[in-house]
């Protein structure tokens, strides 16, 4: 019984890591395209880590292997890839359903955007203080 429980936990942990990695990759792609990040010469990997950490803190779910958190990572990844999808209107409707409502989708987008702004502000301020 203990071995099967351990196996299930390990499988969930691997899945959770996969979902988070996909979200990190989507955030990295956004950071690489962001003009402000390039203009301020902010390292995209550092910015990605900051945004993922900051936005994850306000996502549903408590721990990485929580199914609610896993779904949040999937939904946020899908949200970030909306503009590059072949049918954005269809994906937007799916996102409204996935997040639960248009309001919840807007709150998720606000969480992501606020995380980006806070990270840029913190990293730029930190860089200027070093000089």
Q: pLDDT value at position 53?
A: 96
| φ and ψ at residue 40, rounded to 5 degrees | -85, 0
pLDDT at 9 over 60: no
| Structural domain span for residue 42 | 2-130
> Apex CA 18: angle with CA 98 and CA 77, to 5°?
35
For residue range 72-89, what is the model confidence (pLDDT) as tens digits?
999 999 999 999 999 999
pLDDT, one tens digit per residue, over 58-70 is: 999 877 668 899 9
Number of domain units in the chain: 1
- The string of pLDDT tens digits covering residues 34-53 is 999 999 999 999 999 999 99
List, for residues 107-121, the tens digit of each pLDDT value: 999 999 999 999 999
Q: Give the model's pLDDT for residue 59.
A: 94
Q: Please state, in angstroms and rounded to a whole number, the distance separating the CA atoms of residues 82 and 25.
A: 14
The pLDDT, as a whole number, for residue 116 is 97
Give the end-to-end CA distance of the chain in Å, rounded to a whole number. 58
Q: How many Cβ atoms from other residues are within 10 Å of residue 129's Cβ?
A: 7
Structure tokens, 119: 């990270």
For position 2, what pLDDT does the model report? 62
């Amino acid at each position: 019984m203990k071995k099967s429980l351990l196996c299930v936990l390990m499988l969930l942990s691997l899945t959770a890591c996969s979902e988070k990695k996909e979200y990190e990759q989507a955030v990295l792609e956004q950071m690489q395209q962001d003009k402000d990040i390039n203009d301020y010469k902010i390292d995209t990997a550092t910015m990605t880590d900051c945004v993922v950490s900051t936005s994850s803190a306000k996502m549903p779910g408590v721990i990485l292997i929580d199914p609610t958190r896993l779904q949040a990572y999937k939904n946020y990844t899908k949200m970030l890839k909306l503009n590059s999808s072949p049918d954005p209107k269809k994906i937007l409707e799916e996102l409204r359903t996935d997040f639960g409502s248009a309001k919840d989708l807007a709150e998720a987008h606000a969480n992501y955007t606020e995380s980006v702004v806070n990270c840029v502000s913190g990293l730029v301020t930190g860089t200027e203080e070093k000089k």
